[in-house]
Amino acid sequence: MTRKRLAAAKPARRTQGERRRATQEAILQAAIDLLVDDGYARFSTIAVAKRAKVSRGARENYFPSKYDLITAAWRAALIRAQEHARQLADSLDGRSTIERFLSDSESFFLSRVYLALLELQMAARTDKPLAKIYHALYDEYRQSHDDIWIDALVKEGYARARVQAFVRMTHYLLRGMALTAAGHVSRADFRAALRQWRELAPQMLAKNGGGR
C-alpha cells in the first residue's frame, strides 16, 4: 500500500473541541449511570470520574462541584428529551400524532435517564441546593417540552383544553409506571395498560369537542 493510501486509511485525528465534547459527554453519561445504579446517597464526583475513566483534574476542569455536574447532567438530559420530542413531532413516519406523542412519552419516562432524574427529584426534598436546581430546570424546560406536543395535537384539530388534559394525564400515568419500575417490579402489565390508553386517546381528545 502506498504512503498516500496509508494516510487516507488512517482515521482523522479529533480536534481539541471534539475531544473536549467527548470527555464532557462521558462524564455526564457516567453521572446518569451512577445515579441509576448506586443512587444519590452514593453519588460523588470522584466516583463519576472513575466511571467515566477520566482524571479528577479533567472532571474539575469542566464541572468544579457536585452540583455543577448534576446541573449539567440534568440539563443535558432535558435538552435531549426536548430534541427527541421535536424531531418526532415533525416526523412523517406514517403514524398519527397521538401515536408519536405516546411513543415519545414512553421512551422518556421508562428510560434509565428518567430513573436518574427521579432519584434527584426525591433527593431534592431534603437537599436545598438540589431543590433549587430542580425547580430552576423544571421551570426552564418542562412547559416548553409539553408545548411541542400540545401545539402538534392542536394543529391536527383537537381542542387545546382536551389536549392539555390528555398530555398531563399521560405523564401522570407514565410517572407512576416509572416509580413502579424503579422498585424492580416486572413491566409485564405496562404494555397492556399503555395499549388500553392508546385505544382511549381518540375518545378523550374528541376532535372539535370545544374548549379551544
Number of domains forming the structure of the chain: 1
**Confidence at residue 45, expressed as pLDDT on a 0 to 100 scale:** 93
Q: Decide if 5 is inside a domain.
A: no
Q: Decide if 51 is inside a domain.
A: yes
CATH code assigned at 70? 1.10.357.10
Tell me: the pLDDT tens digits for 88-140? 999 888 899 999 999 999 999 999 999 999 999 999 999 999 999 999 998 88
Integer-rounded Cα Rg, in Å, for the chain is 21
Closest CA to 56 of 42, 74, 44, 72: 44
Q: Decide if 8 is inside a domain.
A: no
**Confidence at residue 191, expressed as pLDDT on a 0 to 100 scale:** 83
C-alpha cell at 117: 432524574
Q: Decide if 21 is inside a domain.
A: yes
Q: What's the distance, Cα to Cα, between the start and end of the chain in Å? A: 69
Cα–Cα distance measured from residue 36 to residue 40, given in angstroms and rounded to the nearest whole number? 8
Give Dmax over CA atoms of the chain in angstroms.
73
Tell me: the pLDDT tens digits for 37-71? 999 999 999 999 999 999 988 899 999 999 999 99
Q: Decide if 128 is inside a domain.
A: yes
C-alpha cell at 50: 472513575
Q: How confident is the model at residue 212 (pLDDT cuts 50, 70, 90)?
A: very low
Q: Decide if 191 is inside a domain.
A: yes
Q: How far is CA 186 from the centre of its chain?
A: 22
Least confident window among 26-40, 94-108, 197-211? 197-211
Cα–Cα distance measured from residue 18 to residue 32, given in angstroms and rounded to the nearest whole number? 21
Q: Decide if 2 is inside a domain.
A: no
Q: Which domain holds residue 189?
A: 13-205
